[in-house]
Amino acid sequence: MTDLFAEKAEDWDRRDVVRALSEAIGSAMVEQVPFAADMAVMDFGAGTGLITAQVAPRVGQMVGVDTSPAMLEKLAAKSELQGRVETVCQDILEQPLARTFDAIVSAMALHHVEDTDRLIATFARHLKPEGWLALADLDTEDGTFHPEDVEGVFHHGFDRDELAERLSSQGFTNIRFTTAHEVHRDGKTYPVFLVTARKSD
């Protein structure tokens, strides 16, 4: 599998948009999800660990999952995350993990996965009963958020009502949306939602 983020990993954490997004999304997640010291949490699409770093100090176990070796290498090299976070480089849609979690968090990864329903079903299989799901991504946009030639983008954001229906159809309840952040660029505003939900018991 080609690592589409191999070159981006080098300066990812220094990008203003990435830092602002991660700080806002992480803060919203911490506010909306009752993380606790006895919880095991997966960060799907963990990248360099910008969200992981905000959640890990609040929970007992943290697993950063990504398909980019370069991004996970950056995560693993961070001194504040060493000994706190396990990294797993694999596609959990094709090769699920042999464990379940109290919560799954994910920031700006949903639009990189073509089959949204299959991903949500995969999340459900990896969650314990009443486990938390917290997903952040773009509201529906006109396709200008990413450059035209960028690889690995399958969705130009998501309609909140439609995504809520998809979550509900996979057994999720207590579905709530908030606006976690807005990206302002080139005269346009791109809202970023956070949706939280619970897996039914």
Strands 40-44 and 101-107: parallel
Report how far residue 52's alpha carbon sits from residue 134's, in angstroms, rounded to the nearest whole number.
13
pLDDT-based confidence at 2, cuts 50/70/90?
low
Residues 6+ apart with CB under 8 A from 184: 190
Q: How far apart are CA 155 and CA 110, in angstroms?
A: 8
- pLDDT tens digits for range 22-48: 999 999 999 999 999 999 999 999 998
Give the C-alpha separation, 22 to 108, whole Å.
Answer: 9
More confident call, 80 vs 118: 118
How far apart, in Å, are the Cα atoms of 11 and each of 14, 36, 71, 153, 181? Answer: 5, 32, 10, 20, 22
| Confidence at 14, pLDDT banded by 50, 70, 90 | low
Tens of pLDDT, residue by residue over 70-94, are: 889 989 988 888 888 999 999 999 9
| Predicted confidence band of residue 185 (pLDDT cuts 50, 70, 90) | confident
Give the tokens for residue 38.
């006895």
pLDDT tens figures, 138-165: 998 888 887 777 777 788 899 999 999 9
Q: Report the C-alpha gap between 140 and 125 in whole angstroms.
A: 27
**CA gap 19, 124 in Å, rounded:** 29
pLDDT for the residue numbered 79: 87
**Percent of the chain topping pLDDT 90:** 67
pLDDT of residue 21: 84
Question: What is the average pLDDT value for the chain, to the nearest integer?
Answer: 89
Per-residue pLDDT band for 3 (boundaries 50, 70, 90) equals: very low
157's torsion region: left (phi>0), alpha (psi -120 to 50) or beta?
left
CATH architecture, domain defined by 8-199: 3-Layer(aba) Sandwich (3.40)
Residue 166 scores a pLDDT above 50: yes
Sequence spans of domains, the chain = 8-199
Q: Look at residue 147 in the predicted model and tell me its pLDDT.
A: 74
Higher-scoring residue by pLDDT: 156, 63 = 63
> Phi and psi dihedrals of 87, rounded to 5?
-105, 140
pLDDT of residue 198: 97
* pLDDT, average across residues 111-121: 93
Q: Is the pLDDT of residue 200 over 90?
A: no
